[in-house]
Amino acid sequence: MKFFIDTANIEKIKEAAALGILDGVTTNPSLIAKEVTDVETEFEAHLKEICRIVDGPISAEVTAIEHQGMVVEAKQLSQIHPNIVVKLPTTRDGLKACVELARGGIQINMTLVFSAAQALLVAKAGAAYASPFIGRLDDISHVGMELVQDILQIYENYDYPTQVLVASVRHPVHVVEAALAGADVVTIPPAVIDKLFKHPLTDIGLERFLADWEKSRKRG
């Protein structure tokens, strides 16, 4: 399973990249807006900086909501760097734009997927990635991971090459469940990456090893 980081924060991306297990980055307009003061003037430079840090797919989202505007914006985004994957919302216009852009060779990540029906449409539209938002489904008392399982089953039934990118991840259990389901990619916020390392028994065990080592040094 590929690990992407779900942030536009340069320091956090550098930290995760330094681990050596990061495969890509996902951003969205909210995440970009948190990191720059003026999206109009700084978005492109910010994306270029991310592309310099991580050599893998970097998702950047359009903000147009109608088909033609999305196509224009997507083409501009894809010119910024060969690793840019354009994120489009899963709407009627987004789907039409996906078909056109995917045919033209642009990698598309269809975002805001909340149903298996939407996931089926985006696979037919030629999206490289489908992004089900599992945390937001859990928030409204649906089991987000059941959607991931359904999408994986549908894509397997028809050999759709669209990769399932599990998004809106809130805790380490989401990451483990995504892996158990066989998702292609999980995009993880920095705080959840930190939590993946954590186990109290690891800390206690290490403390004990070092204390025993120290005791033996003193004896010698």
Residue 135 Cβ, how far from ligand G3P at the closest point, in Å? 5
Site for ligand G3P in 188-217 (CB under 6 A): none
The answer to whether 7 contacts ligand G3P (rule: CB under 6 A) is no
Coil, strand or helix at 158:
coil
Q: Is residue 6 part of the contact set for ligand G3P (CB under 6 A)?
A: yes
Asked whether position 135 contacts ligand G3P by CB under 6 A, the answer is yes
Closest-CA residue to 72 (of 63, 85, 81, 84): 63
Does 4 participate in binding ligand G3P (rule CB under 6 A)?
A: no
Select 78 or 131, whichever has its Cβ closest to ligand G3P.
131
Residues annotated catalytic, as ranges: 87
Which span (10-18, 118-126, 133-141, 204-212) binds ligand G3P, by CB under 6 A? 133-141
By beta-carbon distance, which residue lies closest to ligand G3P?
168
Could you tell me the smallest distance in angstroms from the CB atom of residue 150 to ligand G3P? 19
Instruction: Please check whether residue 66 is in contact with residue 39, taking contact to mean a CB–CB distance below 8 angstroms.
Output: no
Six-digit token string for 198 = 């954590």
CA–CA separation, 143 and 139 (whole Å): 9
Complete DSSP assignment for 50-116: HHHH--S-EEEE----SHHHHHHHHHHHHHH-TTEEEEEESSHHHHHHHHHHHHTT--EEEEEE-SH
Least Å distance, CB 168 to ligand G3P, is 3
25 interacts with ligand G3P by CB under 6 A:
no
Asked if 29 is part of the footprint of ligand G3P (rule: CB under 6 A), the reply reads no
Q: Among residues 102 and 167, whose Cβ is nearest to ligand G3P? A: 167
Tokens 């996931």, residue located: 119
Nearest residue to 199 (alpha-carbon basis) of 189, 207, 187: 207
- Can you tell me the distance from the alpha carbon of 148 to that of 131, in angstroms, rounded to the nearest whole number? 9
Q: Is 28 in the site for ligand G3P (CB under 6 A)?
A: yes
**Inter-residue contact 47 to 81 (CB < 8 Å):** yes
**Taking Cα atoms as reference points, which of 18, 74, 27 lies closest to residue 50?**
27
What would the x/- binding string for ligand G3P be over residues 145 to 184, using CB under 6 A?
----------------------xx----------------
Stretch that binds ligand G3P, among 10-18, 132-140, 200-208, 209-217 (CB under 6 A): 132-140
Note the residues at the interface with ligand G3P (CB under 6 A).
Answer: 6, 26, 28, 133, 135-136, 167-168, 187
